[in-house]
Amino acid sequence: CPSSPKHPSTPSEKCGVLNVTKITENGKKVRKNWTSSWTVLQGSSLLFAKGQSGSTSWSYYRSGLLPELLLALLSSWKQSVKPRPAVSCASCPAAQATAKFGSNQSKPEFTVDLRGASAEWASKDKSSKKHVIELKTRQGTELLIQSEIDSVISDWYRALTETINVHAWE
131/167 with CB nearer ligand I3S: 131
58 lines the binding site for ligand I3S (CB under 6 A) = no
Q: How far is the CB of 106 from ligand I3S (least distance, A)?
A: 25
Q: Which residues have CB under 8 Å from 99's CB, separation 6+?
A: none
169 lines the binding site for ligand I3S (CB under 6 A) = no
32 lines the binding site for ligand I3S (CB under 6 A) = yes
77 lines the binding site for ligand I3S (CB under 6 A) = no
Give the span between the Cα atoms of 121 and 124, in whole angstroms. 9
34 lines the binding site for ligand I3S (CB under 6 A) = yes
Restricting to residues 79-108, which ones interact with ligand I3S according to CB under 6 A?
none
107/126 with CB nearer ligand I3S: 126
128 lines the binding site for ligand I3S (CB under 6 A) = yes
129 lines the binding site for ligand I3S (CB under 6 A) = yes
Residues of this chain that bind ligand I3S (CB under 6 A):
32, 34, 127-129
